[in-house]
Amino acid sequence: MNINHDKQALQQNAGVVERWEKIENRFYFYGQQTVLEVKIVSDGVIRFRFSALGNFHRDFSYSHAQHYQQHIEQLEVSEEEEYFVIKTAKLDCEIQKERMLIKILDKKGLVISEDEKGFHWEEHKKHGGEIVFNTRKGQAGERFYGLGDKPTDTDIREKRFENWGKDTYAFGKDSDPLYKNIPFFIGMHHKVAYGIFFDNSFRTFFDFGFERKNATSFWAQGGEMNYYFIYGPELLNVVQTYTEMTCKPEMPPLWALGFHQCKWSYYPEKQVREITSEFRTRKIPCDAFYLDIDYMDGFRCFTWHPEHFPKPKKMIQDLEAQGFKTVVIIDPGIKIDPNYWVYKEGLEKGYFCKRMDGPLMKGAVWPGECNFPDFTRPEVREWWAGLFEGLMDTGVRGVWNDMNEPAVFEIETFPNDVRHDYDGDPCSHRKAHNVYGMQMARATYEGVKKFGENKRPFVITRSGYSGLQKYSSVWTGDNVASWEHLAIANNQCQRLSVSGISYCGTDIGGFIGSPSGELFVRWIQLGIFHMFCRVHSSGDHGDQEPWSFGVEVELLTKKFIELRYKLLPYIYTTFYQHVQTGMPTLRPLPFVAQDDTETYNRQDEFCMGENLLVCPILAEKVDGRWLYLPEGKWYYYWDDQEFDGKQEVWAEAALDRVPLFVKAGAVIPMAPVMQYVGEFDPEALFLHVYVNSGEYSSYLYEDKGDGYEYTEGVYCYKTFVTHGDKKSFTITQNIEGSYNPVYNTYEIMIHGLNFTPKSCEVDGEKVHIDVINPDKNLIRIDVDKGFGKIVIK
pLDDT in tens, 596-632: 999 999 999 999 999 999 999 999 999 999 999 999 9
pLDDT in tens, 577-598: 999 999 999 999 999 999 999 9
Catalytic option among 199, 405, 610, 747:
405
| pLDDT at residue 6 in the model | 39
Active site residue 478: yes
pLDDT in tens, 31-72: 999 999 999 999 999 999 999 999 999 999 999 999 999 999
Number of Cβ within a 10 Å radius of residue 693: 14
| pLDDT at residue 775 in the model | 80
- Cβ–Cβ < 8 Å for 219, 131: yes
pLDDT in tens, 22-32: 999 999 999 99
- Window from 13-17, 110-114, 552-556, 606-610 with minimum mean pLDDT: 13-17
| pLDDT at residue 11 in the model | 87
Per-residue b/e over 46-82, b at no fewer than 16 CB within 10 Å? bbbbbbbeeeeeeeebbbebbebeeeeeeeeeeeeee
Number of Cβ within a 10 Å radius of residue 581: 14
Count of residues in the chain: 793
* pLDDT at residue 5 greater than cutoff 50: no
Per DSSP, the residues of 771-787 read EEEGGGTEEEEEEETT-
Measured CA to CA, the distance from residue 624 to residue 230 in angstroms comes to 40
Per DSSP, the residues of 193-259 read EEEEEE---SSEEEEESSS-TTEEEEEESSS-EEEEEEE-SSHHHHHHHHHHHT-PPPPPPGGGGSE
| pLDDT at residue 1 in the model | 42
Helix, strand, coil percentages (3-state) for the chain, rounded to 5, are: 20, 35, 45
Which helix (H) or strand (E) segment holds residue 578: the answer is: helix 568-581
* pLDDT at residue 769 greater than cutoff 90: yes
| pLDDT at residue 8 in the model | 53
Per DSSP, the residues of 602-656 read --S-EEETTTEEE----SSS-SEEEEEE-SSEEEETTT--EEESSEEEEEE--TT
Nearest CA among 269, 280, 244 for reference residue 63: 244
* Percent of the chain whose predicted confidence (pLDDT) is above 70: 99
Q: What is the mean pLDDT of the chain?
A: 97
pLDDT in tens, 679-712: 999 999 999 999 999 999 999 999 999 999 999 9
| pLDDT at residue 141 in the model | 96
Q: Is 446 helix (H, G, I), strand (E, B) or coil?
A: helix
| pLDDT at residue 542 in the model | 84
Catalytic option among 94, 478, 554, 562:
478
DSSP state of 160: E
Measured in whole angstroms, how far is the alpha carbon of residue 784 from the centre of its chain?
A: 36
- Using a 10 angstrom Cβ sphere, with 0-12 exposed, 13-18 middle and 19 or more buried, the burial of residue 792 is buried
* pLDDT at residue 732 greater than cutoff 50: yes
Measured CA to CA, the distance from residue 620 to residue 616 in angstroms comes to 12
Q: Is the peptide bond prior to 406 cis by the omega test (within 30 degrees of 0)?
A: yes
Mean local confidence (pLDDT), 518-535 = 98
Sheet containing 660-663: order of strands: 586-588, 606-608, 612-614, 660-663, 633-636, 642-644
Measured CA to CA, the distance from residue 663 to residue 668 in angstroms comes to 10
| pLDDT at residue 777 in the model | 81
**In Å, how far are 285, 563, 716 from 700, measured between CA atoms?**
23, 18, 8
| pLDDT at residue 541 in the model | 82
φ/ψ region of 83 (left if φ > 0, alpha if ψ in -120 to 50, else beta) reads: beta
Measured CA to CA, the distance from residue 399 to residue 401 in angstroms comes to 6
- Cβ–Cβ < 8 Å for 211, 3: yes
Catalytic option among 287, 402, 562, 610:
402
Active site residue 405: yes
Confidence class for position 540, pLDDT limits 50, 70, 90: confident
pLDDT in tens, 148-198: 999 999 999 999 999 999 999 999 999 999 999 999 999 999 999 999 999
